[in-house]
Amino acid sequence: MPFLFAMKEELEKRYEPEKFESRLYEQWEAAGYFTPVDDPERPKFSIVIPPPNVTGRLHIGHALVNTLIDIVARWKRMSGFNTLWVPGTDHAGIATQMIVDRELTRQGLSRFDLGREKFVEKVWEWKERHATEIKDQLVRLGASADWTREQFTLDPKLSRAVRYVFVKLYEDGLIYRDRALVNWCPFCQTAISDVEVEYEERTDKLTQIHYPVADSDRRLTVATTRPETMLGDTAVAVHPDDERYQDLIGKKVLLPIANRRIPVIADAVLVDPAFGTGVVKVTPAHDRNDYETGLRHDLPQLQVIGEDGKMTAAAGADFAGLDRFEARKKVLGLLEAQGLLGKIEDLTHNVGSHGKCGTTIEPMLSLQWFVKIEPLAKPAIEAVRSGTITITPQSWEATYFNWMENVHDWTISRQLWWGHRIPAFHCPNGHTTVTMDDPAACPECSAPVTQETDVLDTWFSSALWPFSTLGWPDENAADLKTFYPTDALITGFDILFFWVARMIMMGLRFTGRAPFEQVFLNGLVRDEQGQKMSKTKGNVIDPLDVVNEVGADALRFTLAINASGRDIPLGRSRIQGYSAFVNKIWNASRFAMMHLDTDLRDASQIDRDELRTVERWILSRLNTATNEVNKSLSHWRYDEAANTLYHFFWGEFCDWYIEMVKPVLLGRHGDEAAREKAKRVLLEVLDRSLRLLHPFMPFVTEEIWLKLGGVEPSIMVAPYPIAEQILEDPEAERLMTAVKAMITTVRNVRAERGFTPKDRFRLTIQAQNGREANFFRDVAYLLIDLARLTEVSLNGEVPAGAYQDLVEGFPIAIELPEKVVTPEQLERARRDIEKSEKELAALDAKLVNEQFLKNAPAQVVQTAQARQAELRARLGKLQQNQ
RNA sequence: AGUCCCCUAGCUCAGUUGGUUAGAGCGCUACCUUGACACGGUAGAGGUCAGCGGUUCGAGUCCGCUGGGGACUACCA
């Protein structure tokens, strides 16, 4: 990696991200770095944003997803990929309509006062405001998305794709219109799909009601949690084999209040004879199972609850117009008065409500549009099973299969105003036309046509997002040809069914290819105690607040280092911890730059053989880190990659290497030539570290790097480091590990024996051969500096009374002045020895065990033997320290 | 009810195909304002890896059971 640097200026004393983050982003955008280059030589990498709803501000979950996307995008871009990240927003049908509706309510208006056209105009105004706000927030995060390609699901281009898909699926018989039982939200007054229903466990009253058997004094007792639906009962069902009711099958019961005669039917599917009384009331118009039972027995469907959640005329004059829950009370009162009320018990069951508004769902018969799902699901299942698409973490695949293998047809029509209006045209003679272009008149009978008023489920357009945003259905669209299929999809697991599954289905159906190869599902951001964040709990963290407080880089790094695919516990203290790391990077760079000259050139020209062991060591460690970061990122282990960087930069570069070059840089040791080499290596390590860190911390790395003055105009278009075998140096690592351990041992003994940092000792090292002896002589200045010694002597006599130890295979002795040893110190020393003795005993036993020697791999036996020898030697030394 | 996941230091978590002395961050203790950083440095305390049983020369890691927690899907009159 040849590179040139000309130090431009020093860093500010303090790290103050607010001073440069926005400026850098503007520079990147102005330079066009977010837009892919037109270079056919480069492999491409493309990814689409999970389009945020235009309902409002982004929350911490958005910050997470977009940070993870940005890390991959920046990593790929620096790694030479022609990278496209498509940004955009979703019109979010119900959610957005609700919000604008609510605003109108505050003004004392309703959408009906405005009318459809005016209302939709209002929503567009809202959208313009919020799409901008969302972009601003992503900008603050440092998202390297290509804003010249920003998309919106209701844009003409995407709307055309939506219409094309609708028409095609209709023509292929996969979209149909039918009167069927759907999930109805009485508050939003629209049908919703199965996935939009959220189930919550609740304890309700299970009420027994006695239905008198017609022309008899017997009565059948049913049990229900929804007494008001009895008004819509059109049968009572028992199990065909239930002896208790054999004689009543085929007879009639008299439905109380309504005073209708309804049949007693036998149904083995609906009725579990062991539950309750074994008798079930059947309300085909308001319950899924009853609906299907009704179809089996050809029962009338009596709709007693209307679209507004109020009782209909069919419920009887006394009930018409009454809210469904009011009606329940009234029914119970009347039944009680008639003595037809039985036992009332608690029953814990699941109740479905609309995820967007919380209203209890009313299963309702309704004329709606559906997508036949099975022909779409089959290939989508196959794509994941065959590995064409991989899902990470893999455990989600089971959930995916489970759902896909059992999905029902998808209700796609919504009784809303905000969304893609269904391109179906009806004429008074009952003909329906579905075409790409609006028909002037009915093609069959030339009668005037009117367009369907329903709009499509928001997720219908989202399902096309990876290709509609790239220009599809125009097969020749340049972006489609270059960037489709996309490479990866990063999103929350909560929209696996809503979005991911449907994109796979639609992508396969319409482009013949999986819309992406890899899916990474990130976890939920929770608070530090693992609790879900919610406004009511007051534990919500607003990403923008965090950016304002500590900068985008600290937030991004905190999110990344916790992103393993599981839920992420996030708290202020955690973010603080990683903002300290950003601060550390700033200060370490500042130190390095204080000692780098302005005329450094082409550090790659250093002859590696001329480097000292210390320098070969840090380059070797850096190389290992480089290798690990690339590897971890390639399999979605953001946490591993971030951890590797954290420990390399702080634990090795700052804590050891910088301390080790200080004597040379500050002129306390070595000559001018040595100083030059040290500077170049320092620069090289800093440069590579910044590049490695850049995808995680784009701002701080750029700010420092620009001041370092590299040849590339920006770190974000500089090459990402890759591991180079030439930098590996196991021997340097072995020796430096020993040096570090010796320093730590001296410090440890100093502290344990109650000496102060000012007390200096003499250290004696026994080297095994001349080469090692020379090495320790060369680094003696380092040991003296970092371990605070008076001198280091090689292979000398061990003075009587010196503290002895064996460190990484090297016997050492520390000459300590006389000092009274406290009982605590003795106790500690004894415990240390005891621990080693225990371990040695276990090893001794293991190494005479023939089974172990026979079965264990040679490598394992060898390390055990080596450890045994070392422990024996070390114990010998330690026992002399009294 | 089914499927999946989790239980490792005070807290939150990492521990790849079973193999040296189980790690990190935060928190805690003691000492240190040493020329980049007190958002710092040095040293340290703290773990019967939920429990029981099994497989194995060897289990935090594999299998079974029990207990506790969570997620998703389906359904319950």
Pairing of strands A761-765, A789-794: parallel
Pairs from A477-483 (Cβ < 8 Å, separation ≥ 24): A479/A84, A479/A149, A482/A36, A482/A44, A482/A82, A482/A84, A483/A36, A483/A44, A483/A46, A483/A84
Q: Which two tokens stand for residue A674?
A: 């040595």
pLDDT at A435: 93
pLDDT at A216: 82
pLDDT at A1: 45
Please check the confidence at residue A821 and state whether its pLDDT lies above 80: no
Residue range A571-581, pLDDT digits in tens: 888 888 899 99
What is the arithmetic mean of pLDDT over A240-256?
86
Kindly provide the residue ranges of all beta strands, DSSP E only, lying in A283-401, ordered along the sequence. 341-354, 362-371, 390-392
Please check the confidence at residue A124 and state whether its pLDDT lies above 80: yes
Please check the confidence at residue A753 and state whether its pLDDT lies above 50: yes
H or E element at residue A806:
strand A803-807
Q: Which residues numbered 812-871 in chain A sit less than 7 A from strand B, measured from CB?
A: 828, 839, 842-843, 849, 851-852, 855-857, 860, 863-864, 866-867, 870
pLDDT at A718: 93
Residue range A285-322, pLDDT digits in tens: 889 889 988 888 889 988 888 888 889 888 888 888 88
Residues A484 and A516 sit within 8 Å (Cβ to Cβ): no
How many angstroms separate the CA of A402 from the C1' of B71? 14
Q: Which residues numbered 251-310 in chain A sit less than 7 A from strand B, measured from CB?
A: 271-272, 274-276, 278-281, 287-289
pLDDT at A600: 55
Q: Which residues numbered 674-713 in chain A sit less than 7 A from strand B, measured from CB?
A: none
Residue range A180-206, pLDDT digits in tens: 889 999 888 899 988 888 888 788 888
pLDDT at A878: 83
Share of chain A above pLDDT 90, in %: 47
Whole-number mean pLDDT of chain A?
89
What is the arithmetic mean of pLDDT over A81-94?
94
**What ipTM is given for this predicted complex?**
0.94
Share of chain A above pLDDT 70, in %: 98
pLDDT at A2: 44
Q: Which nucleotide's C1' atom has the smallest distance to the CA of A272?
A: B77
Residue type at position A634: S
Residue range A370-402, pLDDT digits in tens: 999 999 999 999 999 888 999 988 888 888 888
Distance CA A335, CA A738 (A): 88
What is the arithmetic mean of pLDDT over A5-23?
84
Q: Which nucleotide's C1' atom has the smallest distance to the CA of A554?
A: B39
Listing DSSP states for A532-570 in one string gives BP-TTTT----HHHHHHHH-HHHHHHHHHHT-SSS-EE-
Q: Reduced to 3 states, what is the DSSP secondary structure of residue A710?
A: strand
Q: Which nucleotides in chain B have some atom under 7 angstroms from a protein Cβ?
A: 2-5, 11-15, 19-21, 24-27, 30-32, 34-37, 39-45, 56-58, 71-77
Residue range A398-429, pLDDT digits in tens: 888 888 888 889 999 999 999 999 999 999 99
Question: How confident is residue A344, by pLDDT bands cut at 50, 70 and 90?
Answer: confident
Distance CA A100, CA A733 (A): 64
Residue type at position A853: L
Please check the confidence at residue A8 and state whether its pLDDT lies above 80: no
Residue range A448-459, pLDDT digits in tens: 999 999 999 999
What is the arithmetic mean of pLDDT over A200-223?
85
What is the arithmetic mean of pLDDT over A142-164?
96
How many angstroms separate the CA of A547 from the C1' of B38? 23
Question: How confident is residue A813, by pLDDT bands cut at 50, 70 and 90?
Answer: very high
